[in-house]
Structure 1
């Protein structure tokens, strides 16, 4: 699961270099929908959440993340900035759900933002300002999606991603039609090899990666599974550095380490808090 998520940044960057970014997002969501279409069904009482998740997670998230990768060269820096989704989701839980947290998670939030802020001291990463800003926007959208997903507990993962794929295809198709008509017109002439990165992102990262996460959470405690996902951004940083020939600098490694420490604190403490709440409810 961590390898699928970690290598996905290479696949997406390769895709947006081969075709316009919105068109690449459209193809990815179309593949997700086709793989999961058999599980598409109406879920009474959950349709607003499913449609909202589809528009945000399948559409707007990929508008931001594909644009960020299209305009950036140092994608390892984007992988670090992408970890802002974890503190963003906790901040939203505090504001929207009135969730109470104690000082360890507050410190974790602060460290995550400080770590990403340290990227400004790396000349190579500092040049990626637009990409980092777009990644931060994508992380905020991801955080909103994490709140929506709390309303979908018990809905089969393939049904969720069937709706994500469907709504994502509609949103990305509309955006691509407006801003990238030339990209859509060129689709019939795309070489088959270009579809490899798209298929990896859709099937490997989305369907198999998320499916593996659900499978693990059904069999093991949240506090055991969730911290293990912290390996994914580490894989992303070093895989991107090797693949694209952009070795991480010391400021980038320091910023990444501080950000990951903050994310680790938030992740572990949140998982334990959720597990404790579940035991009390039982």
Structure 2
């Protein structure tokens, strides 16, 4: 992958890492699914007026909008609202790397290399370490929701690859139209009309800034670049750059939110990052061992 594409991938992962902090702050003042709905509403409007619809099957646009907006971020926002730490979520969400590689192998015939299989097994062990102490308490549901959110991200990655080489800015903007109404409907159902109305009429400047960050740098710019890279390189080449998302997420959570991981969570997170690192550096290591 060219250096310019590698640097773009690193910038995207930094933006995404900090977004976990922004989401955590946002769900403290607004119902999670309503915040997610506003994120995609502002990502879509008014941009769809000026940006042409991408030249791909409309089903790709709808599927991407559903799996990215409703499934991935609906679950992630709700999990953070239920108490999932932002730092830990930034690590667990990187299971999307292995879900993407798995789905690419099943759907598109992209056979994973030995280093990717080993990395996936190592990262899975890290997820088990994080999950183990949470399975007996209230943290089980937010953790499982985050894992399913990561799987949904993996599906969205495959959909973007299936869409082919299209205008990725248009693809992101138009797919963002899919998410607001389902997310708003779920918020009205789960939180109640009164809570939704109160949150909208009493929205403050900090929440508006959170929505703006999540809508523009995180959604339009970052996912546009990510989809662009996936359309031009194998999934196994692009997705391992997500290794740097938890670095930004953990640092941001520690500095801004004052979060600290429990020892077992830190070990599990380190194991996941080790698995991700093996995806990137595994071929070099294996060649040196031969």
Same fold by TM-score greater than 0.5: yes
Aligned equivalent of 1:185, options 197, 209, 220: 197
From the superposition, tell whether residues 39 and 269 of structure 1 become closer, same or farther in structure 2 (CA, over 3 Å): farther
From the superposition, tell whether residues 154 and 120 of structure 1 become closer, same or farther in structure 2 (CA, over 3 Å): closer
TM-score scaled by structure 2? 0.81
Asked whether 1:250 is paired with 2:263, we answer yes
Alignment of 1:131-146 (within 5 A): 131-146=142-157
Unaligned runs of 5+ in 1: 271-282
Q: Is the 8 A contact 2:160 2:231 kept in 1?
A: no
Provide the rounded CA distance (Å) in 1 between the counterparts of 2:100 and 2:235: 16
> 1:159-182 CA distances to partner (integer Å, 9 max, x unpaired)?
111222210112212222322322
| Structure 1 counterpart of 2:186 | 175
Comparing 171-180 with 154-163, which one deviates more in the overlay?
171-180
Q: Is the 8 A contact 1:241 1:248 kept in 2?
A: no
Provide the rounded CA distance (Å) in 2 between the counterparts of 1:226 and 1:95: 16
Aligned equivalent of 2:36, options 9, 25, 30: 25
Aligned equivalent of 1:92, options 95, 98, 103: 103
Unaligned runs of 5+ in 2: 1-10, 284-290
> 1:252-271 CA distances to partner (integer Å, 9 max, x unpaired)?
2321121112123335679x
TM-score scaled by structure 1? 0.83
Provide the rounded CA distance (Å) in 2 between the counterparts of 1:34 and 1:74: 31
From the superposition, tell whether residues 252 and 177 of structure 1 become closer, same or farther in structure 2 (CA, over 3 Å): closer
Alignment of 1:41-80 (within 5 A): 41-80=52-91
Q: Is the 8 A contact 2:53 2:174 kept in 1?
A: no
Asked whether 1:14 is paired with 2:25, we answer yes
Partner secondary structure for residue 18 of structure 1: coil
Partner secondary structure for residue 26 of structure 1: helix
Count of aligned positions: 270
From the superposition, tell whether residues 133 and 120 of structure 1 become closer, same or farther in structure 2 (CA, over 3 Å): closer
Comparing 98-107 with 214-223, which one deviates more in the overlay?
214-223
From the superposition, tell whether residues 21 and 263 of structure 1 become closer, same or farther in structure 2 (CA, over 3 Å): same
Partner secondary structure for residue 178 of structure 2: helix
Kindly report the root-mean-square deviation, in angstroms, between the aligned alpha carbons of the 2 structures.
Answer: 3.0
Q: How far is the alpha carbon of 1:227 from its aligned partner?
A: 4.8
Provide the rounded CA distance (Å) in 2 between the counterparts of 1:220 and 1:73: 33
